[in-house]
Amino acid sequence: MSKHRLADAEMVEQAISGQESFSSGVVTGQREANRQAVEKLPAPQATRVIAVANQKGGVGKTTTVVNLAAAIALGGLRVLVIDADQQGNASSTLGFRNLSYDQASLYEVMTEGVPLREVMVENQRIPGLWVVPASMDMAGIELELNARTNFQQILSEAVNALLSSGEYFDYIFIDSPPSLGIMTVNSLVAAHEVLVPLQAEYLALEGLTQLTKTIDMLVIRLNPKLRFTAILPTMVTTNTLLGKGVLEEVRAYYGDIVMKTIIPRNVALAEAPSHEESILTYQPGSKGAKCYLDAAYELISREVKS
């Protein structure tokens, strides 16, 4: 998919040059413009359920979920983010930091069988972007669910029930915690695809081996439809020899699974969560916004036709 993205040529120019000097009034105007500027995206043949996973902490899982989801929803598709991490970072970035006392979360879905459609809430800024928030209660979920039979399939059953209830989504992204525990396993069993954000740093490949072993085991035992869709290099600093070297090593080892798009280190990406926004609405002209939009296009073009 080649044609682009941010309609305003000047914004593209700024994105490429990395210039991010907006006064706040201008930013607001550009946010509005950007909402209309992402070109309409093609819907997939069927719902794509994508787990974003890497047991290593702080590699950009949540940033990737939030910004891919926002980009795709801005392109006119219906997107659901399931926050399967008790830290709740995806929930808070998408505006659900403090849940009202009567708002249920993924915890109630996992432990009491509350349907996802009763828990999901729509993002205020981006129509069509829905969130199933996490809650702190999920911290103890490992112990609570361990004794249950088929505890690895709880989320998968909830997602299937949602999709057969007449509620349609084009994309469902599941944000996983930094571990290979119960919630990550549930995410991988519920998903059709896995996308791994990989921070291009020394020893990055070591952690991937454990994750790919887990994926292989789950494919055999619990989820034969799971495909390893993509590795997305994150927080890349291509101006250092180390950064370049790691990227080359990852591409040599994993080949085409590694996305062509890379996400550079970009300060606006780190700032956006504190404003409870995706980068696409917070600073649409930033490098981070341009790269996540590119990543969304590339992900869409990687649809596996079954």
List interacting residues with ligand ATP (CB under 6 A).
57-63, 85, 87, 89, 178, 234-235, 263, 265-266, 269-270, 273
How far, in Å, CA of 177 to CA of 61, rounded? 9
Return the number of the residue (159 or 263) whose C-beta is nearest ligand ATP: 263
58 binds, among ligand ATP, Mg ion, none (CB under 5 to 8 A by kind): ligand ATP
270 binds, among ligand ATP, Mg ion, none (CB under 5 to 8 A by kind): ligand ATP
Return the number of the residue (43 or 88) whose C-beta is nearest ligand ATP: 88
3-state secondary structure of 31: helix
59 binds, among ligand ATP, Mg ion, none (CB under 5 to 8 A by kind): ligand ATP
CB of 178 to ligand ATP, least distance (A): 3
Q: Among 11-19, 72-80, 88-96, 267-275, which window interacts with Mg ion (CB under 5 A)?
A: 88-96
Per-residue buried b or exposed e for 268-289, using 16+ beta carbons within 10 Å of the residue's own CB: bbeebbeebbbbbbbbbbbbbb
Return the number of the residue (156 or 234) whose C-beta is nearest ligand ATP: 234
84 binds, among ligand ATP, Mg ion, none (CB under 5 to 8 A by kind): none
How far, in Å, CA of 154 to CA of 156, rounded? 5
Q: Which residues contact 201 (CB under 8 A, 6 or more apart)?
A: 235, 242, 243, 246
Question: Does residue 235 contact residue 204 with C-beta atoms inside 8 Å?
Answer: no
* Cα–Cα nearest to 128, from 73, 174, 172: 73
93 binds, among Mg ion, ligand ATP, none (CB under 5 to 8 A by kind): none
CB of 87 to Mg ion, least distance (A): 6
CB of 48 to ligand ATP, least distance (A): 20
Sheet containing strand 129-132, edge to edge, reads 121-122, 129-132, 79-83, 171-175, 48-52, 193-199, 227-234
Contact status: 61 vs Mg ion (CB under 5 A): yes
207 binds, among ligand ATP, Mg ion, none (CB under 5 to 8 A by kind): none
Return the number of the residue (117 or 265) whose C-beta is nearest ligand ATP: 265
Q: What angle do CA 281, 31, 122 make, to 5 degrees?
A: 50
How far, in Å, CA of 208 to CA of 219, rounded? 16
How far, in Å, CA of 177 to CA of 70, rounded? 20
Return the number of the residue (79 or 279) whose C-beta is nearest ligand ATP: 279
Residues that bind Mg ion (CB under 5 A): 61-62, 89
